[in-house]
Structure 1
Amino acid sequence: MSFKIAIIGAGSVGFTKKLFTDILCVPEFKDVEFALTDLSEHNLQMIKAILDKIVQSNKLPTRVTATTDRRNALEGARYIISCVRVGGLEAYADDIRIPLKYGIDQCVGDTICAGGILYGQRNIPVILDFCRDIREVAEPGAKFLNYANPMAMNTWAAIEYGKVDTVGLCHGVQHGAEQIAEVLGARSLSDLDYVCSGINHQTWFIDLRLNGRKIGKDELFAAFEAHPVYSQQEKLRIDVLKRFGVYSTESNGHLSEYLPWYRKRPEEITKWIDMSDWIHGETGGYLRHSTETRNWFETEFPQFLESASKPIDPSRRSNEHASHILEALETNRVYRGHFNVKNNGVITNLPADAVIESPGFVDRFGINMVSGITLPEACAATCISSINVQRMSVHAAISGDIELLKLAVLHDPLVGAVSTPEEVWQMVDEMVVAQARWLPQYADAVPAAQERLSKSSVKTRDWAGAARRSVRSIEELRAEKAALKQAV
């Protein structure tokens, strides 16, 4: 088979490498062309060198091109994969830093909450540019696979306004299933069957079967409570399981910032998080992790390049959905996964226009969702709160309406639990002004926001958050990796 796959944001080096090797695990795909595109020529050349090394070492005919000209990369592409972060780590730092001045402590800040909403405002105009290019120069009927956060907002904009065949992809469901299989003592993940449904990062394991036996709330709760590691790392997530009756896919740190109850008082935050790794709730944890990962890659690039000479091992193919979707569409080998699409009745008690994440099957006919799923009421209520925020955020990003943007942030569950309307109005002004170069739709609103900020009497604080850690140096990272290697 010979077709073209374009990867936008290919400078996300580690993830691009994973997608690339996964796709080449499919024997029929060895003749595929990969077109890489990114704003950074430096990052593009690094990832191209790695992928070229993989191709050469495995003696494949696969073609890899790299260009900063996005339309050129998209021309004739059958599949387009996006893993962009508009504004990079510079804008992301503001997503964490500015809300902290108003008492909003986020772990990740890339889905909803103040950081995730502004991230969506930066991404959506660019997503629509991608969609325009796809409509104009890609292969007719091309499929857009979005991996970029905020997943629901980006996918919503691409479907409703970009008018492109789009599916959003995430790995939270797979990771949650791995945890459940472990605590229940499954011999392998294949022993566990499940139905997981909701919205991205708030998806719920509403039906669990271990070797065909139904697993109830009490058994699952007891298994997590007894686990020596997860009982400490996933305290908040386990508490939600106890109260809601179902387990959430999302990590302790992520879940904590989508709800109004666990991060609203600084003195309470440390009770619910675990500092053994960023993902369990650390303030700005993913920003620190991303910064360290970027610095590590820049310094240790020769090692990454050397590791690319290893043979591709199909047994090590990851559980990221992209390669499996492409395989099913092209070969008709059916794949079951969990996909982000417009609801339209798939989940009976969520709005029809929402982007939901739910089970589906893929074959030559496309992605076929399992319809008629009804969430437990508490899960639906939590999802609907986020959906309302997402809808307003998408519409604000499209219209450039700063008042609607402020209303979206005001209705965010954690923001509403922590901040007053006056604080929210000033915080949004401050974030829009700070990120103006990535927010073209708000260009006309920036001068007035600057004027309001110059006259504001709303007090802020110089606060690093309840559980902030400093970015570690390369030397500290090397020492930690050496210690872990020695311990193993």
Structure 2
Amino acid sequence: MSFKIAIIGAGSVGFTKKLFTDILCVPEFKDIEFALTDLSEHNLGMIKAILDRIVEANGLPTRVTATTDRRKAIEGARYIISCVRVGGLEAYADDIRIPLKYGIDQCVGDTICAGGILYGQRNIPVILDFCKDIREVADTNAKFLNYANPMAMNTWAAIEYGKVDTVGLCHGVQHGAEQIAAVLGAKSPRELDYVCSGINHQTWFIDLRLNGRKIDKDELVAAFEAHPVYSQQEKLRIDVLKRFGVYSTESNGHLSEYLPWYRKRPDEITRWIDMSDWIHGETGGYLRYSTETRNWFETEYPQFLEAASKPIDASKRSNEHASHILEALETNRVYRGHFNVKNDGVITNLPRDAIIESPGFVDRFGINMAAGITLPEACAATCMASINVQRMSVHAAISGDIDLLKLAVLHDPLVGAVSTPDEVWQMVDEMVVAQAQWLPQYAHAVPAAKERLSKSTVKTREWAGAARRNVRSIEELRAEKAALKQAV
């Protein structure tokens, strides 16, 4: 087989390498072309060198090109994969820093909440540019695979306004299933059969079977509470499991942002999180992790390049959906996964226009969703709160309506639990002004926002959050890795 895959945001070096090696684990895909594109020539150069080394070490005919000309990369591509973060770490830092001034403590801030909504405002205009290129110069039947957050908003915009064949992909379901299999004592995650459905980052394991035996709530609660690690790291998820009756896919820190109950008071935050790793609830945890990862990669790049000389091991192919979807579409080997698509009745008690994450099957006929799923009422209610915020956020991003943007932020569950309307109005003004260079649709609103900020009487505070850690230096990271290696 010979076709072209374009990867937008290929400067996300580690993730691009994973996608590349996964895809090349499919024997029929050795003779394809990867077209890498990114705004950063520096990052493009690094990732191309790594992928070229992999191709050379494995004696493959695979072609790798790299260009900052996105349209050229997309031209003729059958598959376009996006893993972009518009504004990079600079804008992301404001997504965390500014809401903290108004008492909003986020762990990740990339899905909803104040940070996730503004992230969507930056991404959606760019996503629509991608879609325009796909419609005009990509293969006639091109498929757009979106890995970028905020997943639901980006996918919603691409389908509804970009008018391209789009699927959103995430790995939260797989990670949650691995946890459940571990606490139940399974020898392999493959022993666990499950139905997981909802919306991205609020997907629910509504049916669990271990080697054919149905697992109920009480057994799952007992298994998590008995686990020496997860009982401490996933306290909030376990509490939600007890109250809702089903386990959520998303990490302790992520889930805490989507609900109005666990992060609204600083003294409560520390009760529900765990500081052993960023993902369990640390304030700005993913920002710290991302910053450290970038610094580490820049410094240790020669080691990454050397590691690329190893043969591809198909047994280590990851559970990221992309390679499996491409394999199913191209070879007709059926793949079952969980995909972000427009609902259109798949989940009976969520709106038809919402972007859901639910089970589906892929073969040469495309992605076919398992329809007729009904969520437990509490799960549907929680999803609905986010869907309403997502819908308003997408419409605001498309129209450049700053008043609608403020209403979207106001209706966010965590923001609404913490902040007053006056605080929300000022916070959004401040975020739009700070990120104006990435928000072209709000250019007309920036002067008035600056004027309002100059006259505002709403009080703010400089606050690091309830559980903030400093970014570690390269020396500290080296020492920690050495200690872990020695312990093993």
Give the alignment's TM-score, normalised by structure 1.
Answer: 1.00
SS in 1 for 2:258: coil
1:190 Cα offset (Å): 1.1
Name 1:208's counterpart in structure 2: 208
Structure-1 separation of matches of 2:149 and 2:479: 32
Q: Identify unmatched segments of 5+ residues in structure 1.
A: none
Structure-2 separation of matches of 1:270 and 1:171: 27
Structure-2 separation of matches of 1:77 and 1:426: 43
Name 1:473's counterpart in structure 2: 473
1:157-208 Cα offsets, whole Å, 9 max, x none, are: 0000000000000000000000000000011111100000000000000000
1:267-323 Cα offsets, whole Å, 9 max, x none, are: 110000000000000000000000000000000000000000000000000000000
Structure-1 separation of matches of 2:419 and 2:184: 40
1:147 Cα offset (Å): 0.0
Structure-1 separation of matches of 2:268 and 2:374: 33
1:126-165 Cα offsets, whole Å, 9 max, x none, are: 0000000000000001000000000000000000000000
Structure-2 separation of matches of 1:205 and 1:122: 32
1:94 Cα offset (Å): 0.1
1:444 Cα offset (Å): 0.1
1:314-347 Cα offsets, whole Å, 9 max, x none, are: 0000000000000000000000000000000000
Structure-1 separation of matches of 2:211 and 2:290: 38
Structure-2 separation of matches of 1:141 and 1:328: 16
1:432-471 Cα offsets, whole Å, 9 max, x none, are: 0000000000000000000000000000011000000000
1:186-241 Cα offsets, whole Å, 9 max, x none, are: 11111100000000000000000000000000000000000000000000000000
Structure-2 separation of matches of 1:325 and 1:66: 24
1:472 Cα offset (Å): 0.3
Name 1:395's counterpart in structure 2: 395
Structure-1 separation of matches of 2:161 and 2:173: 27
Q: For 1:190-339, what aligned pairs fall within 5 Å after superposition?
A: 190-339=190-339
1:250 Cα offset (Å): 0.1
Name 2:382's counterpart in structure 1: 382
Structure-2 separation of matches of 1:142 and 1:21: 21
SS in 1 for 2:422: helix
Structure-2 separation of matches of 1:142 and 1:196: 28
1:361 Cα offset (Å): 0.1
Structure-1 separation of matches of 2:252 and 2:194: 20
Q: Is 1:37 aligned with 2:22?
A: no
Give the alignment's TM-score, normalised by structure 2.
Answer: 1.00
Structure-2 separation of matches of 1:437 and 1:141: 34
SS in 2 for 1:106: coil
1:7-53 Cα offsets, whole Å, 9 max, x none, are: 00000000000000000000000001000000000000000000000
Structure-2 separation of matches of 1:187 and 1:202: 27
Name 2:482's counterpart in structure 1: 482
In the comparison of the two structures, how many residue pairs are matched?
488
Q: Is 1:413 aligned with 2:422?
A: no
Sequence identity (%): 92
1:377-433 Cα offsets, whole Å, 9 max, x none, are: 000000000000000000000000000000000000000000000000000000000
Name 1:180's counterpart in structure 2: 180
Structure-2 separation of matches of 1:284 and 1:325: 33
Q: For 1:109-128, what aligned pairs fall within 5 Å after superposition?
A: 109-128=109-128
Q: Identify unmatched segments of 5+ residues in structure 2.
A: none
Structure-2 separation of matches of 1:15 and 1:195: 27
Structure-2 separation of matches of 1:104 and 1:287: 15
1:56 Cα offset (Å): 0.1
1:85 Cα offset (Å): 0.1
Structure-2 separation of matches of 1:419 and 1:382: 19
Structure-1 separation of matches of 2:318 and 2:267: 39
Structure-1 separation of matches of 2:188 and 2:80: 33
Structure-2 separation of matches of 1:266 and 1:183: 30
1:82-132 Cα offsets, whole Å, 9 max, x none, are: 000000000000000000000000000000000000000000000000000
SS in 2 for 1:300: helix
Name 1:362's counterpart in structure 2: 362
SS in 1 for 2:81: strand
